[in-house]
Amino acid sequence: MTTLRRLKLLLSAAELVCVAMSLTAAWLANASTEKGGLADLDRFAFWNSIIALSLMLFFLLWVAAVLLALFARQREHFGSGKRYWKHLVPDVLLPPALLAAGWIAFVVLQ
């Protein structure tokens, strides 16, 4: 396995950890608020800051993955556009799709 491929896999794994962390923190922030009007505002603010940090880190990692994909496009020759897009799915396209699906599921399950 090449160094470039390992770096892409590492970025994808880090992005997925950020997705899991933001969804877990959202669940915990929601759990800290009671529907009767009472809430632990300090806990709620703490988990919301974790959500913000994990989303910022996710987007930074995603931009790095996009730039790495562009760099790989310059170095490697892809025979067709279909092969190039298939190469982008696990690295660039899948993590934001999972993030969006997770947040949609979180909102729907509320």
DSSP 8-state assignment for residue 36:
T
Q: How is the chain split into domains, by residue range?
A: 3-109
Evaluate if residue 78 carries a pLDDT over 80: no
pLDDT digits (tens, 9 = 90+) for 34-64: 777 777 889 999 999 999 999 999 999 999 9
- Among residues 21, 26, 24, 8, which one has the least CA distance to residue 93? 8
For position 79, what pLDDT does the model report?
A: 67
Contacts of 22 (CB under 8 A, 6+ apart): 50, 51, 54, 55, 58, 99
